[in-house]
Amino acid sequence: MTILTKKQFLENLDKYLTKIKKSAVFVYPTDTIYGIGCDATNTKAVKKIRSLKKRDSKPFSIIPPSKKWIRENCVITKEVDKWIKKLPGKYTLILNLKSRKCISSEVNNNMDTIGIRLPKHWITQVVAKLKKPLVTTSVNITKEKYMTSIDDINKNIENKTDFIINQGKKNNRPSVIVDLINKEIKKR
């Protein structure tokens, strides 16, 4: 496991994008808290995150590579379109999928819905260059406190990730969940 600064990561971006495409699991900052992620189309990598978090069935959210990806792969209503126009931001939109084939079934346990997160943060441009959706979930064992600094990381998770991008302390809370299927907004 390697700990990198943003600068080190971006200077070697092609190398790290290749690692992600080859099933790397890594920790990264967002506009809210730290996330743990992988290529959302890679079943092996998604299963690894599920195991690390001890999260059997609850679905994960993704950072899509673009708003175009959202429009191509999710059901878009007038209400959904209004929320997409608000992105990027500190929201996770719960949307219906057009087809489950755009992500590994391990991401959402074969459900017809997906959580979409588009952070107002440089990590979004990294995902755009990856050209694949990225799993995004808090860095913690399920039901434990989420990570706001690399000092908070669970040692088991730390030891089993491929790399960590350290961008200092994050003084935020997880994103607000906007469930556009059940018409609910949940602050965490």
Domain containing 62 equals 2-186
CATH number of residue 16's parent domain:
3.90.870.10
* Chain centroid offset of residue 143 CA: 18
The reported pTM is 0.95
Selection from 48, 50, 91 nearest residue 179 by Cα: 91
Which alpha helices (DSSP H) does 62-162 contain, by range? Answer: 67-73, 78-86, 105-108, 123-130, 155-160
Segment 113-125, tens digit of pLDDT:
999 999 999 999 9
State the pLDDT at residue 116. 98
* Number of structural domains the chain divides into: 1
Segment 22-51, tens digit of pLDDT:
999 999 999 999 999 999 999 999 999 999
Split at pLDDT 50, 70, 90, the class of 87 is very high
